[in-house]
Structure 1
Amino acid sequence: MRRNSKRRGLSVAAGLALVAGAVAAAPSPSPSPSPGDFDVQAALDQLDAQVQDGMKRTGVPGVAVAVVHDDKVVYQKGFGVRDTNSPDKKVSPDTVFQLASVSKPVATTVVAQAVGADGFDDPLKGVILKDPWVSSHVTAADLLSHRSGLPDHSGDLLEDLGYDQAYILSRLRFEPLTPFRTSYAYTNFGFTAAAEAVAKAKGVPWDKLSDDLLYKPAGMTHTSSRFSDYEKTADRALTHVKTADGTWKPLYVRDADAQTAAGGVSSNAKDMARWLRLQMGGGKIDGKQVINGEGLAETHVPHSISHPPAEPNAQPGFYGLGWNVRYDENGRLRLSHSGAFALGANTNVTLVPSDNLGIVVLTNGAPSGLPDTIALNFFDVAEHGKPTRDWLPIVAKSYEEQLNQGGSDTDYTKPPANAKPARADSEYTGAYTNPFYGRATVTTGQDGGLVLHLGPEPQNYPLTHYDGNTFSFQTAGENAVGRTGVFFTDGGMRVEYLDENGLGTFQRQQ
């Protein structure tokens, strides 16, 4: 099973398999107790202190946690503040957070009810990829387990540039494909394409399908797949990033409607506790069968290999349908998913179905590893009486590595000493076209210098001369990678950070 490992950095709503990856990378602890031997009370007794210590170490402003055991909500609590500019706005179990990629297992719960266990393997209508044979055979299971062959994080940069869902999904047909069903690459918009195809077949929009099949019947009254619902909620946690002076501020607003099934759900700890009960109850809650049990079970089993074993005796990591799937030393199934917005959210859900034990951690800070650490510590204490290692630096390093990948090898802030001069501005200005990224223009700015305009609105990027016909600009948005190069030729230009899959060349219009 081949995996596309090249990444631009922490993508929109990145569902990083940090729990599975960190476990695989770390030395194994002593053997775990048998299923049923978790000391849940010990883990609950330490949970307050674990959360507070993690918040102190990271500075993350707000956290909400819920724990479900044996179909009961045994812990539900909020910590910190919703908005650092308003210290009186405290986090509670009712506070609504953006889930980022924890939206994925929520979405596959909806799909399980919509199609049942067998429907995951039916070819989808309306999903068009580069290979016609793949287009005619691709299933919901292929796209929801990231084995369609689409490149890593396909379409995310289009969203950064301001394109809507319809445009982005229509452009997946240009993406080069790796071998179908034998390669893994995490794709928010491949995942979204599956959900939208299922909703279209049911004759309703995805957000309504989610309401009708899951949120309303499960009593998840503060959960939505519409950004507008999150935005109008008074008791909501704003997204925060860490500033240069070390403080956390709500500087950005993240509207994820374009990839709503993959990263656009908002919810609170109370509703997520009900969802955990449903997950471990075979689709049933409060005596009512809400989700098809066989369909839900299908989401919990491996469908692709996401992390090949690093050494002969190591455990591989799997991806199910919206879930990271692994098995511990006793063969006990563990399901998890992380969510991350670089613009200010980080979440985690982890559960062990055999022990009817699950935890969800929601935070309103850019990815720091805190929610993953709280979950890892909780299960460590339940199994071993204490954390088996200091998880925070391990998980934080994983996030940092994701954030720092994908940038340019060239330091555009330091032009070469013998840099060649640029041509006259008129040699570069004008309109350019690209079948994937659409129209671009280069103009002369009011204060002189060139400005690159990208996207439908468009977005404006001042260009800085580097050498000869090479310029650079500072990238922005969820997938920013620092400064990137723009290389002009007689017939067009190539934008470096848009060119990962060979799609970043624009032709100049005459």
Structure 2
Amino acid sequence: MRLVWSVCHQGIWALAAVMALWPRAASADPITPERVAAALPKLEALADGVIAKGGVPGLAIAVVHDDKVVFLKGFGHREAGKPETVDADTVFQIASLSKPVSATIVAALVGDGIVSWDSRIADLDPAFRLADPYPTSQLTVRDLFAHRSGLPGTAGDDLENIGYDRATILHRLRFVPPSSSFRSGYSYSNFGLTEGAVAAAKPTGKSWEDVAEEKLYRPLGMVSTSSRHADFVKHANRAALHVMVDGAWAPKVKREPDAQAPAGGVSSTARDLAQWMRLVIGDGVYDGKPLISADAMDQMHVPLMTRGKNPVSGGESFYGLGWNVEFGRHGLSWGHSGAFSTGARTVATVFPKEKLGIVVLANAFPSGVPEGLSDSFADLVFDGKVEKDWVGAWDSIYSGMFGPGIAAAKATYATPPSPPRPAASAGAYAGRYANDFIGEAVVSGAGDGLMLKVGPAGARSYPLRHFDGDQFLTYPDAEMPDRPAAVSFVVGPNGKASAMIIEFLDDNHLGTLQRIPD
């Protein structure tokens, strides 16, 4: 592995961070094939135990050491309650594990001289805008893959949830106020990274999806991997997404992430991702042949933005380009996790000095099983024993992600005032509303309540139930059906609503829509 520091203006800072943190926690003993081989039966037993305890319905694991795939196996079931089992060729939606895969594809473009990590988005994709002109003019592929553009983390996710396509979402990011100054703050942005990838592909004249196949999937023989959801659903051997319903895993919701394909839309198998890990561990060399420039690959792993400490292990964590860069109890590691709250969990971890990597794919959320198994395997290899219950520790992290928010929302709207203030007539609220970011919304009477339609051509419908006065409640999350959100109206002296605030679209204070005059 070679680290390239001169290519970024944070180079001196990053080098100091590495020198301060790198080898102190690493094992002094070399990681031999024998040590890895000794850990594999124990990893398999841990995975079997997770399935037996119902930790996830199914999972698949690949381990690579020194350019060899030394472990490849599936566990459990593709769908809860059905007999089909997971194997090494079961296709999973890998969620945000797509990010380092996509960074590798951009590294291939960089190595071929098609773009640079420091190519300006204004040159590659002149139509793209941020809220402010200076960041728009200076923004680079590197900025977007390092999540330092200033875009808030959720920017665009809300539009995707109500049915907008990629082009519309990327266009409307210009209306989102920044959450930090340009290049000064880290904010994990799906659609920021998506724009970086799409812009990097533009000089080829091809779609991102075609570039991904041409530059990575096909050369590595990743025959079951795609950045298109349509390809995922064509596979008979695919894993369903699961969420917890009444204490049991259920395939409740489907997820079509094409809008953010570079950031979260890749589907793949343990077998295919093992080949990708061989390329990463080989610093761009695959099957003994240089496939991607080592310089372009190395830049992905320069620690550019601090992420604080790992919430379970306590290791210092940074973000490079589509990769987490961590200095933990076993030394330097690169990695990334992925999650859909609709039912996916994934992780990849690479120890570059030891040429060791593991990928764990699971088909349920919330679950800390992927990180737990990855951390347990690292303990087994480096120390010969598992230090603690890593699966349990990571389960606590993921189960706590939405619990407090759901509880707070439930508490806020648990009981209306007694007596509640009456609503106006349905005609007071009915009509068309809009803003530049959300687009048009329509409110109409529906039985004893109202109906809200948002998204392109009213693609999403939400029943509104009266709560108090001019405030109504809806339940917008299919995967969290008991989480309420308010839709409030501003009624003027004429007895008609002049505006409405949609709480579940207001993360970035863009959820207020003005009435369109009749």
TM-score relative to the length of structure 1: 0.89
The aligned counterpart of 1:193 is 195
Match of 2:515 in 1: 508
Structure 2 residue aligned with 1:47: 43
Partner of 1:366 in structure 2? 365
> What 5-or-longer segments of structure 1 have no aligned partner?
1-29
CA contact (8 A) 1:349 1:358 kept: yes
Q: Distance in 2 between matches of 1:386 and 1:153?
A: 39
Which SS does the other structure have where 2:149 is aligned? coil
What secondary structure does 2:192 align onto? Answer: helix
Instruction: Give the drift of 1:481.
Output: 8.3
AA of the residue aligned to 2:161: D
In structure 1, C-alpha distance between the alignment counterparts of 2:439 and 2:150, rounded to whole Å: 23
Q: Which secondary structure does the structure 2 equivalent of 1:171 belong to?
A: helix
**Deviation string for 1:402-454 (max 9, x for gaps)?**
22365565522310113211111111111101111111111111x33111111
The match for 2:242 among 216, 240, 243 is: 240
Letter in structure 1 aligned against 2:321: L
Write the deviation string for residues 213-243 of structure 1: whole angstroms up to 9, x where unpaired. 1111111111111111111011111212222
Partner of 2:388: 389
* Aligned-pair CA distance for 1:37: 3.8
Determine the C-alpha separation between the residues in 1 that align with 2:482 and 2:504. Answer: 8
Matched ranges for 1:302-321 at <5 A: 302-307=303-308, 315-321=315-321
Looking at structure 2, the residues matched to 78 and 271 of structure 1 have their Cα atoms a distance apart, in angstroms, of 13
Q: d(CA) in 1 for partners of 2:78 and 2:500?
A: 44
What amino acid is the match of 1:119?
S
Instruction: Name the residue aligned to 1:300.
Output: 301
Q: Quick one: which amino acid aligns to residue 140 of structure 1?
A: V
Report the Cα distance in structure 1 between the residues aligned to 2:85 and 2:252, rounded to whole angstroms: 19
Counterpart-to-counterpart distance in 2, 1:248 and 1:157: 26
Deviations 1:335-379, CA, capped at 9 Å, x for gaps: 111111111111110010100100001111123111111101000
* Mapped contact 1:54–1:374 kept (Cα < 8 A): no
- SS of the residue corresponding to residue 451 of structure 2 reads strand
1:304 to partner: Cα distance: 0.9
CA deviations over 1:287-324 (Å, ceiling 9, x no partner): 222222111111112121122699xxx75310111111
Q: 2:448 is matched by which residue type in structure 1? A: G
Between the aligned residues of both structures, percent identity stands at 43
Q: Distance in 2 between matches of 1:283 and 1:175?
A: 37
How far, CA to CA, are the matches of 1:301 and 1:483 in structure 2? 42
Instruction: Check the 8 A contact 1:91/1:237 in 2, yes or no.
Output: yes
Q: Kindly indicate whether the alpha-carbon contact (under 8 Å) linking 1:157 and 1:479 is maintained by their aligned counterparts in 2.
A: no
- Report SS of the residue matched to 1:149: coil
Alignment of 1:108 with 2:103, yes or no, is yes
Work out the CA distance in 2 between the residues paired with 1:159 and 1:35.
Answer: 48
Name the CA distance, whole Å, in 2 between partners of 1:309 and 1:92: 31
For residue 509 of structure 1, report the CA deviation from its aligned partner. 1.2
Q: Is contact 1:404-1:481 (8 Å) kept?
A: no
Aligned equivalents of 1:322, 1:478: Cα separation in 2: 27
Q: CA, structure 1 residues 388+56, in 2 after alignment: closer, same or farther (shift >3 Å)?
A: same
Say if 2:476 and 2:484, in contact at 8 Å, map to a contact too: yes
Amino acid at match of 1:122: S
Q: Is the 8 A contact 1:225 1:265 kept in 2?
A: yes
Cross-structure match for 1:179: 181
SS of structure 1 residue aligned to 2:402: helix
User: Counterparts of 2:37 and 2:512 in 1: how far apart (Å)?
Assistant: 58
User: Tell me, what secondary structure is at the counterpart of 1:184?
Assistant: coil
Shift of 1:477: 4.4
From 70, 75, 92, the counterpart of 2:66: 70
Alpha-carbon offset, residue 480 of structure 1 = 7.5
Equivalent AA in structure 1 for residue 227 of structure 2? S
Moved more, 456-465 or 135-144: 456-465
* Deviation, structure 1 residue 262: 0.4
What is aligned with 2:93? Answer: 98
Matched, 1:36 2:30: yes
**Residue 291 to residue 35, structure 1, CA distance change in 2 (3 Å):** farther
Name the SS of the counterpart of 1:402 in structure 2. Answer: coil
Aligned AA for 2:437? Answer: F
Q: Which residue of 2 aligns with 1:451?
A: 451
Q: SS of 1:366's equivalent?
A: coil
Alignment match, 2:288: 287
Deviations 1:377-418 (A, max 9, x none): 000111222221111232122212322365565522310113
Alignment-derived partner of residue 336 in structure 1: 335
The separation in 2 between residues aligned to 1:497 and 1:35, in whole angstroms, is 52
Aligned CA distance change for structure 1 residues 222 and 377 (closer, same or farther; 3 Å) = same
1:72-93 deviation digits (Å, cap 9, x = unpaired): 1110111111122421x11111
Shift in CA distance, 121/481, structure 1 to aligned 2, threshold 3 Å:
farther
The letter for the 2-side match of 1:468 is G
d(CA) in 2 for partners of 1:300, 1:503: 35
* Whole-angstrom CA distance in 2 between matches of 1:480 and 1:175: 28
| Aligned equivalent of 2:494 | none
What amino acid does structure 2 have at the position aligned with 1:33?
S
Task: Write out aligned runs for 1:217-236 (5 A).
Answer: 217-236=219-238
Which residue number corresponds to residue 7 of structure 2? none
Q: Distance in 1 between matches of 2:444 and 2:362?
A: 41
Alpha-carbon separation, structure 1, partners of 2:202 and 2:75: 40
Equivalent residue for 2:421? 420
Aligned equivalent of 1:122, options 119, 123, 127: 119
Following superposition, the deviation at residue 326 of structure 1 comes to 0.9
Please list every run of 5 or more consecutive structure 2 residues that lacks an aligned counterpart in the other structure. Answer: 1-23, 492-497
Are 2:209 and 2:228, in contact at CA under 8 Å, matched by a contact in 1? yes
Measure the CA separation in 2 of the matches of 1:402 and 1:121.
35
Q: Which deviates the most, 404-413 or 203-212?
A: 404-413
Distance in 1 of aligned mates of 2:163 and 2:278:
37
For structure 1, which segment, 494-503 or 139-148, has the greater mean C-alpha deviation from structure 2 after superposition? 494-503
Residue range with higher mean Cα deviation, 294-303 or 320-329: 320-329
CA positional deviation for 1:201: 2.1
Corresponding residue SS for 1:444: strand
Secondary structure of the equivalent of 2:453? strand
Instruction: Give the Cα separation in 2 of the matches to 1:123 and 1:479.
Output: 39
The answer as to whether partners of 1:120 and 1:141 remain within 8 angstroms in 2 is: yes
Root-mean-square deviation (CA, aligned residues, Å) is: 2.0
Q: For 1:79, which of 65, 75, 79 is the aligned residue?
A: 75
Shift, 1:35, TM fit: 5.8
State the shift of 1:272 in Å: 0.6
Give the drift of 1:204.
0.6
Length, aligned pairs only: 474
The alpha-carbon distance between structure 1 residues 353 and 308, as it changes in their structure 2 partners (threshold 3 A), is closer
Residue pair 1:334, 1:352 contacting (<8 A) in 2 also = yes
Distance 2:171 2:367 in 1: 34
What's the CA shift for 1:247? 2.4
Distance 1:345 1:292 in 2: 32
Using the TM superposition, name which of 36-45 and 429-438 deviates more. Answer: 36-45
Residue 31 of structure 1 and its aligned partner are, at CA, apart by: 5.6
- Deviation (angstroms), 1:475: 1.5
Report the Cα distance in structure 2 between the residues aligned to 1:293 and 1:480, rounded to whole angstroms: 47
